[in-house]
Amino acid sequence: MLAHMHPTIKDIAERAGVGLGTVSRVLNDNPRVSETTREKVMGAVRDLNYVPSLAARGLSLGKTQSIAVIAPFFTRSVFVERLHGIEETTSANGYDVVIYNVDATEKRDRYFRTVPDPRRVDGVIVISLPPSTPDVAHFQRSSVPIVFVDVGSPLCEPFDRIVINDVEGGRMATQHLIDLGHRRIGYLGDIPQAGFNFTAGEDRFEGYRRALAGAGIAVHPEYHLDGRFGREVARTLARRMLGLAERPTAIFASNDTQALGVLEAARDLGLDVPGDLSVVGYDDIEMADFLGLTTVRQLLFESGRRSVEALLRRLGEPEGVPICDSLPVELIVRRTTAPPR
């Protein structure tokens, strides 16, 4: 017995003594089927353990029941959390998630060109990767709905997007330090990784700049350093900044990982945190809680969830003005910030 073979609607039709169309109608809840035949068919479906072929349905319908996620460095907690929200919402709605990890600009370009294909996926979520003008033109030609998460670029305005108010987050972090009485406040950012043009860093810096301006504090160029993402680089840079004759009494790092580097640098130099140095991070990754790091929390999981919802909405309603969903940020004050001595 070919018990392991997969039955097709033809097998079901034969066993139930009905036609192919009828089986398909039953499976798709078409009301134009009598109750008795419906039951006969459902019986055969159970008997033969029928499972429809997604590929065949996809071919016939032009739908794949799967959505693609294009994200950079998906091992970083920030992306993992977003992906988590995406996965949960997607699976709850009967879609599959296909992940495309971008660890080099060539991969991004390749995925941007090949993934948004209606025969491949029903929708695409792009995280933190701003497209170029040709990319946008290509996306618009494609009939696949695209949602951008955490991409501030104005080029994305024709598409649905979930944005984070990073300017506000940067402002809040900096204002917190100002409110504590700090005047010499350093900023440690990550360098827009060659060609990636992440915008979050710049926005957070803009918030920092505005907060200082609002308090009438001049931006001291030596208090602003950027480096490649990662703890080690941040540690080195922070050490340099803390070695200045008139060193800052507080440092705002544009993400928690770099904030850890700052903490290490402080430890290296024998500086007490928060006594000699206040430190604020950004993202509120798990480690931040463990270390008592003051930071700015963003709704990562939620951003993933909403991106899927936006996609599903767009699938039902292809036309219509693009929505822009802005997520709030929140300052989480812990033990690495205090008034300066």
Partner DNA sequence: CTACCTCATGGAAACGCTTCCACAACATGC
Partner DNA sequence: GCATGTTGTGGAAGCGTTTCCATGAGGTAG
x/- map, 90-109, a copy of itself, by CB under 8 A = -x----xxxxxx-x---x--
Q: By C-beta, is 1 or 245 nearer to DNA?
A: 1
Residue with tokens 């802005």: 326
Does residue 142 interact with a copy of itself by CB under 8 A?
yes
- Sign of the CA dihedral running 18, 20, 25, 31: negative
* 84 phi, psi to nearest 5 deg: -60, -50
Q: How far apart are CA 256 and CA 287, in angstroms?
A: 8
Structure tokens at 339: 């008034």
| Strand ranges for the chain from DSSP E | 66-72, 96-102, 123-127, 146-149, 160-164, 185-190, 224-227, 250-253, 278-280, 295-298, 324-327, 329-332
Q: By C-beta, is 57 or 334 nearer to DNA?
A: 57
Q: How far apart are CA 139 and CA 210, in angstroms?
A: 34
Does residue 218 interact with DNA by CB under 7 A?
no
Neighbours of 322 (CB within 10 A): 16
Does residue 59 interact with DNA by CB under 7 A?
yes
Q: How far apart are CA 98 and CA 134, in angstroms?
A: 24
Strand partners, 161: 148, 324
Q: What angle do CA 127, 128, 134 make, to 5 degrees?
A: 90
Rounded to a whole number of angstroms, the minimum distance from the CB of residue 37 to DNA is 3
Query: Which of positions 36-55 make contact with DNA (CB under 7 A)?
Result: 36-38, 50-53
Q: How far apart are CA 280 and CA 331, in angstroms?
A: 10
Rounded to a whole number of angstroms, the minimum distance from the CB of residue 308 to DNA is 23
Q: By C-beta, is 37 or 236 nearer to DNA?
A: 37
**DSSP structural state of residue 194:** T
Does residue 25 interact with DNA by CB under 7 A?
yes
Q: By C-beta, is 99 or 219 nearer to a copy of itself?
A: 99
From the list 40, 87, 147, 283, which residue makes contact with a copy of itself (rule: CB under 8 A)?
87
Does residue 66 interact with a copy of itself by CB under 8 A?
yes
Does residue 113 interact with DNA by CB under 7 A?
no
From the list 33, 212, 225, 312, which residue makes contact with DNA (rule: CB under 7 A)?
33
From the list 287, 327, 331, 332, which residue makes contact with a copy of itself (rule: CB under 8 A)?
287
Rounded to a whole number of angstroms, the minimum distance from the CB of residue 84 to a copy of itself is 5
Does residue 283 interact with a copy of itself by CB under 8 A?
no
Q: End-to-end CA distance of the chain, in Å?
A: 83
Q: How far apart are CA 71 and CA 126, in angstroms?
A: 6
Does residue 15 interact with DNA by CB under 7 A?
no
Contacts of 68 (CB under 8 A, 6+ apart): 97, 98, 99, 100, 115, 116, 120, 121, 123, 124, 125
Nearest to 3 by CA among 39, 50, 43: 50
Q: By C-beta, is 51 or 218 nearer to a copy of itself?
A: 51
Query: Which of positions 112-131 make contact with a copy of itself (CB under 8 A)?
Result: 114, 117-120
Does residue 324 interact with a copy of itself by CB under 8 A?
no
Does residue 32 interact with a copy of itself by CB under 8 A?
no
Rounded to a whole number of angstroms, the minimum distance from the CB of residue 155 to a copy of itself is 19
Q: Which positions touch DNA (CB under 7 A)?
A: 6, 8-10, 17-25, 27-28, 31-34, 36-38, 50-53, 56-57, 59-61, 119
Q: Which positions touch a copy of itself (CB under 8 A)?
A: 3-4, 6, 51, 53-56, 58-59, 64, 66, 74-75, 80-81, 83-84, 87-88, 91, 96-101, 103, 107, 114, 117-120, 141-143, 231, 260, 264, 287, 290
